[in-house]
Amino acid sequence: MAGGIGSRFWPSSRTAMPKQFIDILGTGESLMQMTWQRARRFSRPEQIMVLTNQLYQTLVAAHLPEINKANILSEPSRNNTAPCIAYAAFKLYQKDPEAIMVILPADHLILKEDKYAEKIRIAIDFVAENDALLTLGIQPTRPDTGYGYIQFAQNSTTVKNKVLQVKSFREKPDLATAETYLNSGQYLWNAGIFIWKAKDVINGFKKHRPDLYELFEKGMPFYNTDQEKAFIEQHYKTAAKISIDYALMEKAHNVYTVPAEIGWSDLGTWASLWEVKQKDDAGNVLISEEHIELSQTQGCIISKDPEKLAVIDGLTDYIVIDQKDVLLIYPKNKEQDIKHIISRLEQQNEANRYL
């Protein structure tokens, strides 16, 4: 899934160039390219599809030269993850009724890639033999309020102690609730990585979101034909704008999780990038290390033009992002508020050029 804007990484991530297409880690590869390489561990190139907004078709093709252009699926509108997944499920089912789907957000970081591939294999083997909707669950390391949580059943049946039944999904909590979750030992972070048979998720839509089922079921004569694009152009924008968690995962009773310690981050925020990047002796993360003079500055994340000199004194736990047309200086502990700044800019027509 590669259609998001990545607004919480503003101002580096913009509508025209979202974070999945940026080398935000300084590795020489975009997050999209890193996700592709991980997917190649369990899928052949011709089996990998990318669902993205119409705006980004050319970007996807440029970042993934191996991809079959027919496997770049274009969404004419942003309707959240449930319609995106429903579209892919029906298309795959039409091609192969026994198809297994592994759904990967294009903008995540996985540090332990061998362990990741092992967990995906466990999940694939489980859903192949069971009517199950499965998600990877990440062992929480802190009471984070930016993630959804998965509560697993303590006495759930396990498969070699590797697959747990899910008791409930919980939305992003406040800090006190997150601390309770962490201390209980019964919760995992919801990574948004899903594995299931196409027919099982379709049955889930039929039961819990019949509106989405009926909309995309109409396209069965057209998927994988020359008429597919016209069908999607006409009908996709009428789908409810809803996440897969709200539409299905919170309602279904056949939900399971594979606990996975894989060095995962959804890189949803600058603070999450600060968490995973190497730091200097003062705990600063410097995306551009050249031409920076720091004093009495600690716990900051700083990104700037490599040619620009930055002189910073007396900052603690700040985000400093210097783009050509935008300078962001913001406390790390308030970065969830950046979305409100973006909302205000969206209401100012003259300011939209900054988004």
Give the DSSP letter string of 170-203: EPPP-HHHHHHHHHHT-EEEEEEEEEEEHHHHHH
- Among 181-195, 221-235, 263-277, the range scoring the smallest mean pLDDT is 263-277
Q: Calculate what percentage of the chain has a pLDDT beyond 70.
A: 97
pLDDT at 156: 57
How far is Cα 84 from Cα 90, in angstroms, rounded to an integer? Answer: 10
Residue 301's nearest CA partner among 337, 326, 273 is 273
Give the DSSP letter string of 215-273: HHHTTTTTTTSTTHHHHHHHHGGGS----HIIIIITT-S-EEEEEE-S-EE---SHHHH
pLDDT at 157: 54
pLDDT one-digit tens code per residue, 312-326: 999 999 999 998 888
Quick one: pLDDT band at residue 276, thresholds 50, 70, 90?
A: confident
Q: Token digits for 8?
A: 């919480």
Domain 7-268 = CATH 2.10.109.10? no
pTM of the entire structure? 0.87
How far is Cα 168 from Cα 202, in angstroms, rounded to an integer? Answer: 21
- Per-residue pLDDT, averaged over 170-196, amounts to 91
Q: Is the pLDDT of residue 44 over 60?
A: yes
Which residues fall within 8 angstroms of residue 176, CB to CB, at 6 or more apart?
none
- Among 163-167, 197-201, 264-268, the range scoring the smallest mean pLDDT is 264-268
pLDDT at 222: 97
pLDDT at 158: 54
pLDDT one-digit tens code per residue, 212-240: 999 999 999 999 999 999 999 999 999 99
Which residues fall within 8 angstroms of residue 62, CB to CB, at 6 or more apart?
none
- Please give the sequence-ordered ranges of beta strands (E in DSSP) within the chain, or none if there are none: 50-53, 72-75, 100-103, 109-110, 133-138, 149-152, 164-170, 187-197, 255-260, 264-265, 285-286, 292-295, 301-303, 310-313, 318-322, 327-331
How far is Cα 70 from Cα 304, in angstroms, rounded to an integer? Answer: 37
More confident site: 213 or 157: 213
How far is Cα 135 from Cα 133, in angstroms, rounded to an integer? Answer: 7
Q: Is the pLDDT of residue 161 over 70?
A: no
Which residues fall within 8 angstroms of residue 202, CB to CB, at 6 or more apart?
86, 89, 90, 93, 213
- Per-residue pLDDT, averaged over 14-38, amounts to 88
- Per-residue pLDDT, averaged over 84-89, amounts to 97
Judge residue 136's burial from the number of C-beta atoms within 10 Å of its C-beta, 0-12 exposed, 13-18 middle, 19 or more buried.
buried
pLDDT at 160: 52
Quick one: pLDDT band at residue 110, thresholds 50, 70, 90?
A: very high
Average pLDDT score, the chain: 90
Domain residue spans in the chain? 7-268, 271-354
Residue 95's nearest CA partner among 215, 2, 228 is 228
Q: Is the pLDDT of residue 107 over 80?
A: yes
> Alpha carbon 188 to chain centroid distance?
16
Quick one: pLDDT band at residue 113, thresholds 50, 70, 90?
A: very high
pLDDT at 350: 66
